[in-house]
Structure 1
Amino acid sequence: MSESSSSSSSTLQETLLRLSNSITSSLAATSYTPPKTATISVKAFLEPLLTPTNSIKDFALACALLSSSTLINSELLSWIPNHLSSLASASFFELSQIYLTVFNNRNTEKVAELGLDCDLVPPEKRLLIELFPELVPILKERIKESSFDKSDEFDEFSAASARVPVGFAILAAYQFRWFVTQVDYPHLGKLCGWVIPCALTAVDHWSPEVKGQGMVSFAHLGKNVDAAELGGFEDVILDACCQNIAADDEVWDCVVEASITLMSLTQKSNPRSPWFEKMLNEMLSHLERQPRNKERRIAWLKSVDSLLNGVGLVLLAHFRRIFPLFFQWMHADDDDTIILVLKCTYVVLRLTWIRNSPYVARLVDKLALVYKEAALRKAREEIRANITQILVLLQESKGQHFNLAWDKHQTDPDLTNLNLSLSGNYKCNLDSLPSENSTQSSGIVQT
């Protein structure tokens, strides 16, 4: 090794030692009481990763875990203060810069081997990407250690827990999620071969915390890769999402987001895909089991737009399950649910123009009632604006059929302003709507 190379390498080691000591000092000054339900000590887990003889890999794992505390609401990591999390993030960034000055050629080769162009990868991401193929398999195995023991058909849970405390799998899942979410488009697609197996292992785990981090990683993957980059994993991933739709409510929002994101990515050009049918039916079944669960319905209503747009006119086949839920949610106790379900109702109508469905008359009556009930709501103006938008769309698409349904409400004094809107005093932008002729020519069977 030349004198300059030796000096540079020494500078890197000195930087690693200095940064590790800084984090260690801050960690030591942070009070820590493990939760009663904890199976491990997180502080004791971190300390060996920050010893004077630690490697860059160990340091990266420590920084990943500490940095994760600002991204998640976890009992295991809630004791980590923001300043320590920020210090870990800044330290890894600083080490990355120094590393490139010493091992730039090596890093260039490693990153190029992954199919990435170093000129397009941000410098602060290059060390992380180099470490990715080495660290993610380690995290995958750590998650797998406390998974169900498929060989013990009588007591899978106990067999898994007895081998390794689940806390290690939870920490590995947080670290994995952090590594994945640091890489975005177009670079993440080249790392699918490492991300997908680990994410599948996480979502197959019995712990909701581990499962949730796997789903968050899948959601990020779906937003930052091209469908072709998923390779032969497409059906396996979608099946894993379907299998987890009925998972614990604490990960429902993660499952919904990941499922819909990946469906939109992989099936967007095929509204008749059996995956759309299966995914939508699984979600509706889960919602029907507890229609009054506020968190469950809000999470779904917030994310479902792209799924509805993907299904398109085929939504007609699901009306008998969708509208009973929508009608019930229109009378929810909270304004958020009402506004969200009205927006989703508009999307469904815009996509289907509702044809000659028997739901037209019932929907009109329901909207008139909700409009009047909104007088006592804090968000009454927004609720009423959404109802007006829906009714204008129905009036435009259904014509005389709508008029017959609305006739009974014409003289209701509580609907005077709404009647004025429907008479043409207020106009809705319908430029994006399909013509009724084009809808009728689609060949979809009416409901």
Structure 2
Amino acid sequence: MPQATATAAAAVARIPRDALLRIVAPLREPLAAAPYKPHAGSSASVKSLLASLLPSPSPSQPQPVVGKGAADLLLFCAAVLASSPEHPALHWVPVSLVGAAAIAVEEMAAAGGWGSVGEMVVAVMPEVVPPLKAVVKDSCVDADNDEIGAVKPPKEHAVVAAHQFRWLVSQVCYPKLGDLCWLVIPCALTTLDHWSPEVKEQGMVSFIHIAKNVKVTELSLYEDAILDACCHNIAADDELWYRVVEVSVILLTCTQRSNPRSPWYDRMLSEMLGHLERQPLNKERRVAWLTLIGPVFDAMGLFLLAHFRRLFSLFFQWMHTDDEKTVLLVLEQMHAIIKLTWIRKSPYTLRLVDELVLLCKESATRSSREVIRTHILEMLVLLQKCKGQQFEEAWKKHELDPDLTMLLSSFSQLCTQNSSPGC
């Protein structure tokens, strides 16, 4: 949108150069003093990249295009404010520089006549986002479009651009962000398509913020592209799995909530289950998935029946692991699924009762045994309510088990309290 870009260029030009130089001055010293050592194998200096964004105070230096100095300064501050010890490319940024950058963006907003940093970011986004997208895109690996001998930007430049973009997006909330979907969503998709996990993660964080701050109708034009990108990223590295599931669940339920028949639910859940089936013993992956997947189950309701075989195969395996967090999460999700589906026409009732009884016996040596047994009892009562005679047949063979005296007594009491028919 050329008009939006022109308007943004005029917006950044609102900050006088003398004000810009005054704002920049406190940033130079902490940046120069910051200890920086490039990662082994790194082809670029992130510190030098950031330094190049600061407007030169020397009148002998060629002056940038009107407004570019302000745009570059905003990008400098965005990178610094997006830094974190968890982010390798920017972990070296000192606290003093972060504090100075926070003051600088406030002063920029005031110098330009904006009421807040968010207002300033909204005004200048059409000017600063396209170059960030270009940096990320140009550093991607694209065998179909690569020109022989073409020089790609270093990965570090793409990582910094992704952090800058994420910070900019995070400054804009509802309802303003909806007006910028045409600008931010293509850039966020570009970061998701990048080969670097560091770049991908910033795109995922950006999409989480976008999903929480725009209307569903504003996402509708892009939903297929967004959900397709999520599906492709499900096979990402272990370090990204939590983010992948988080962003996929949020975007899937946000865009498809009113349509449980949407093929995207089947595709997304199938992709996730397939990945979990290939690594069923990976604790981090299963815990993250069990923690986050609930909203998808709620949205799918009875349509979960189509996935019962794969779901219960994993659940039956995980509920006997040594990891108590996994066990508790499995019990919570199984309880939710039973409530949502009443496990209609399911062959898993008998097996489920047996597995719950076995887990009850195993729990004797676990520190969370009381919590586990409470979950088991609640699930047995629910199964009794929804499966009736089928449950009674499954339960009958355990009624005389001497190791289940406490469970049998507690179950009978719960049935009485709930006035369940047949108890």
AA in 1 matched with 2:111: I
Q: Which residue of 2 aligns with 1:140?
A: 133
Distance 2:339 2:97 in 1: 49
Of the three residues 69, 73, 78, the one matched with 1:55 is 69
Of the three residues 249, 265, 269, the one matched with 2:254 is 265
Asked whether the 8 Å contact 1:140–1:201 carries over to 2, the reply is: yes
- Label 1:171 to 1:10 Cα distance change in 2 as closer, same or farther (>3 A): closer
Q: Which residue of 2 aligns with 1:187?
A: 176
Matches within 5 A, 1:406-425: 406-425=395-414
Q: Deviations over 1:155-207 (max 9, x none)?
A: x69978x5221111111111111111222222211110011110111111111
Q: Which residue of 1 aligns with 2:82?
A: 68
Asked whether the 8 Å contact 1:148–1:157 carries over to 2, the reply is: no
- Label 1:14 to 1:384 Cα distance change in 2 as closer, same or farther (>3 A): farther
How big is the shift at 1:417? 3.3
Asked whether the 8 Å contact 1:66–1:80 carries over to 2, the reply is: yes
Q: Which residue of 2 aligns with 1:316?
A: 305
- Label 1:172 to 1:387 Cα distance change in 2 as closer, same or farther (>3 A): same
How big is the shift at 1:429? 9.0
How big is the shift at 1:31? 1.2
Asked whether the 8 Å contact 1:189–1:229 carries over to 2, the reply is: yes
1:19 and 2:20 equivalent?
no
Distance 1:157 1:312 in 2: 49
Secondary structure of 2:235's counterpart equals coil
1:178 and 2:167 equivalent?
yes
Asked whether the 8 Å contact 1:202–1:213 carries over to 2, the reply is: yes
Q: Which residue of 1 aligns with 2:244?
A: 255
> What is the number of equivalent residue pairs in this alignment?
397
- Label 1:82 to 1:360 Cα distance change in 2 as closer, same or farther (>3 A): farther
Matches within 5 A, 1:77-156: 77-100=90-113, 104=114, 123-151=116-144
Distance 1:429 1:129 in 2: 56
Between 1:279-288 and 1:18-27, the stretch displaced more is: 18-27
- Could you say what the CA RMSD is over the residues aligned between the two structures, in angstroms? 2.6
Secondary structure of 2:280's counterpart equals coil
- Label 1:358 to 1:231 Cα distance change in 2 as closer, same or farther (>3 A): closer
AA in 1 matched with 2:54: L
Between 1:250-259 and 1:192-201, the stretch displaced more is: 250-259
Q: Which residue of 2 aligns with 1:405?
A: 394
How big is the shift at 1:413? 4.2
Q: Which residue of 1 aligns with 2:203?
A: 214
Q: Which residue of 2 aligns with 1:117?
A: none
- Label 1:98 to 1:281 Cα distance change in 2 as closer, same or farther (>3 A): same
Q: Which residue of 1 aligns with 2:231?
A: 242
Q: Deviations over 1:266-285 (max 9, x none)?
A: 11111111111111111111
Distance 1:131 1:271 in 2: 39
Distance 2:203 2:231 in 1: 14
Kindly indicate whether structure 1 or structure 2 has the higher relative contact order, using CA contacts under 8 Å at least 6 residues apart: 2
- Label 1:350 to 1:11 Cα distance change in 2 as closer, same or farther (>3 A): closer
Distance 2:353 2:133 in 1: 53
Q: Which runs of 5+ in 2 are unaligned?
A: 1-12, 58-67
How big is the shift at 1:426? 7.9
Q: Which runs of 4+ in 1 moved over 6 A?
A: 156-160, 426-430
Asked whether the 8 Å contact 2:188–2:207 carries over to 1, the reply is: yes
Of the three residues 23, 36, 43, the one matched with 1:39 is 43
How big is the shift at 1:240? 1.4
AA in 2 matched with 1:174: H
Q: Deviations over 1:250-302 (max 9, x none)?
A: 22222211111111111111111111111111111111111111111112111
Of the three residues 193, 196, 208, the one matched with 2:185 is 196
Matches within 5 A, 1:152-167: 162-167=151-156
TM-score, structure 1 as length reference: 0.82
Distance 1:314 1:398 in 2: 19
Secondary structure of 2:21's counterpart equals helix
Secondary structure of 2:346's counterpart equals coil
Fraction of identical pairs, as percent: 49
Asked whether the 8 Å contact 2:350–2:394 carries over to 1, the reply is: yes
Distance 2:53 2:81 in 1: 14
AA in 2 matched with 1:127: M
Distance 2:281 2:221 in 1: 39
Asked whether the 8 Å contact 2:106–2:116 carries over to 1, the reply is: no
Distance 1:349 1:304 in 2: 15
TM-score, structure 2 as length reference: 0.87
Q: Which runs of 5+ in 1 are unaligned?
A: 1-8, 105-121, 431-447
Distance 2:196 2:148 in 1: 13
Asked whether the 8 Å contact 1:287–1:297 carries over to 2, the reply is: yes
